[in-house]
Amino acid sequence: MPVRVEEARYEPLVKELRLNAFIESDSMVTVLPLVSGILQEMPVEVGQRVSKGQVVARIDAARYELQLRQAEAAWLSAKGTFERIEQLFQAGAASQQSYDQARGQLDAYRSQYELAMLQLEYATVRSPIDGVVLLRQLAVGSIAAPERPLLTIGDLSRLVVKARVPERYYADFNKAENGVEVRVLRTGGEAYAATLASVSPFVSPENRTFEATCDLVEGLESLRPGMSVTAVFSLARKDGAWSLPFDALSGETKLWYVESDGTGGSFAHTMSLEPGFSTDERFEVPAEFSAYRFIVEGQHFLKDGAPVRLIGERAPR
């Protein structure tokens, strides 16, 4: 039977998990207007840095100015009425009921005045955070409304990657002694260091995944929210160990190796091993296994002691 063999290798073993993800800004805010009207001005452009409280849009405020003047007039009238009735009440010339009604009207008109001032203030839209304008969803002249986003602002000083991790890895992510290492890969091959910031305590019942959030510590100048990346989590590591590829396993615990009889003949023999520490591709073996040549191709139809013909050793992968 022709077989191909491979020897055990001594090298670091790293158990990795690779997941597709997207870069996000840790503070990314969609700015919504709180009042409706025609968008008159948006003095910021995409890519522009803005400060918290800076004006980013103005909505036509003519209607709200009129409402404020009406509310102010009604409040001042109610205030004057209340002051007269209060004087009469203190002099015993007005009833408690009249006093209470005047006080109630004053409070109601004052609330309407304060609401009108607030609506007029809302016509000037300000940035809620320090950041960079990422998107402009509306153009000047459009109708702005509370349900229609104006623009999106993100803080690019802290970029994160949020990955959906299969439930079976939850224990690996929550072992404090593991010290999960993270790196982020882009399509072109660039790699950036990251740190595991948090692990969600909630597992979604719909897709059986949980969220892991990672902080990027490199690439903040070149990476941007929305980019597609691969998040690589190093869940466990052994800096040096003898290992074999999973191709060497026949079944779950059987290994085949080749032994020479000293006259040029080669024979296949079997041994059992319960794989312990492993990665997606390789599993750890005892150091004494380094003296054997293990069959990685052609072992599935062998019997113990069967003669075999070596067709070569597989190059390390």
Do 113 and 81 lie in one domain? The reply is: yes
Judged against a pLDDT cut of 80, whether residue 263 lies above it is answered with no
Model's pTM, two decimal places? Answer: 0.65
Do 303 and 263 lie in one domain? The reply is: yes
- Average pLDDT of the residues in 127-155: 93
Q: Binning pLDDT at 50, 70 and 90, where does residue 18 land?
A: very high
- Average pLDDT of the residues in 253-281: 87
Specify the pairing of strand 254-260 against strand 159-166.
Answer: unpaired
Do 21 and 161 lie in one domain? The reply is: yes
Do 209 and 190 lie in one domain? The reply is: yes
Judged against a pLDDT cut of 70, whether residue 314 lies above it is answered with no
Among 221, 237, 253, residue at a domain's last position: 237
* CA 104 to each of CA 18, 70, 79, 148: distance values in angstroms, whole numbers, following the listed order: 65, 18, 11, 37
Q: Please give the backbone phi and psi of residue 210, each rounded to the nearest 5 degrees, phi first.
A: -130, 165
Do 67 and 164 lie in one domain? The reply is: no
For residue 286, give every residue at least 6 positions away whose Cβ sits within 8 Å of its Cβ, in sequence order, or none: 242
pLDDT of residue 178: 52
CATH number at residue 231: 2.40.30.170
**Closest of 214, 203, 210 to residue 162, by C-alpha:** 214
Asked whether 89 and 63 are in contact (CB, 8 A), the reply is: no
CATH number at residue 269: 2.40.420.20
Retrieve residue 162's tokens: 């949020």
Among 122, 143, 171, residue at a domain's last position: 122
Q: Tell me the C-alpha distance between 266 and 258, whole Å.
A: 6
Residue type, 247: D
pLDDT of residue 177: 44
Among 237, 271, 301, residue at a domain's last position: 237
Retrieve residue 31's tokens: 């700015």
Q: Give per-residue pLDDT as tens, 195-250.
A: 998 899 999 999 999 999 999 998 888 888 889 999 999 888 888 899 999 989 98
CATH number at residue 139: 2.40.50.100
Q: 13-22, 178-187, 307-316 — which is least confidently predicted?
A: 307-316
Retrieve residue 204's tokens: 């979604």
Which DSSP letter does residue 278 get? Answer: B
Do 183 and 281 lie in one domain? The reply is: no
Q: Give the count of alpha carbons within 13 A of 239, CB side only.
A: 0
- Average pLDDT of the residues in 166-192: 82
Domain count, the chain: 4
Look up the domain containing 204 and give its range. 15-26+156-237
Judged against a pLDDT cut of 80, whether residue 175 lies above it is answered with no
Q: Give per-residue pLDDT as tens, 101-118.
A: 999 999 999 999 999 999
Asked whether 148 and 137 are in contact (CB, 8 A), the reply is: yes
DSSP reduced 3-state for 309 = strand
- Average pLDDT of the residues in 57-67: 96
Do 22 and 162 lie in one domain? The reply is: yes
Q: How many other CB atoms are there within 10 angstroms of residue 272's CB atom? A: 9
Asked whether 123 and 35 are in contact (CB, 8 A), the reply is: yes
Do 112 and 198 lie in one domain? The reply is: no
Query: For the chain, what percent of residues have pLDDT higher than 70?
Result: 97
* DSSP per residue, 132-184: EEEEE---TTSEE-TTS--EEEE-TTSEEEEEEEEGGGHHHHT-GGG--EEEE
Q: Give per-residue pLDDT as tens, 26-52.
A: 888 999 999 999 999 999 999 899 999
Do 168 and 72 lie in one domain? The reply is: no
DSSP reduced 3-state for 54 = coil
∠ CA 154-158-163, nearest 5°, is 95
Which DSSP letter does residue 217 get? Answer: -
Do 135 and 47 lie in one domain? The reply is: yes
Do 224 and 251 lie in one domain? The reply is: no
Retrieve residue 132's tokens: 């960079």
Do 167 and 213 lie in one domain? The reply is: yes
Q: How many other CB atoms are there within 10 angstroms of residue 278's CB atom? A: 15
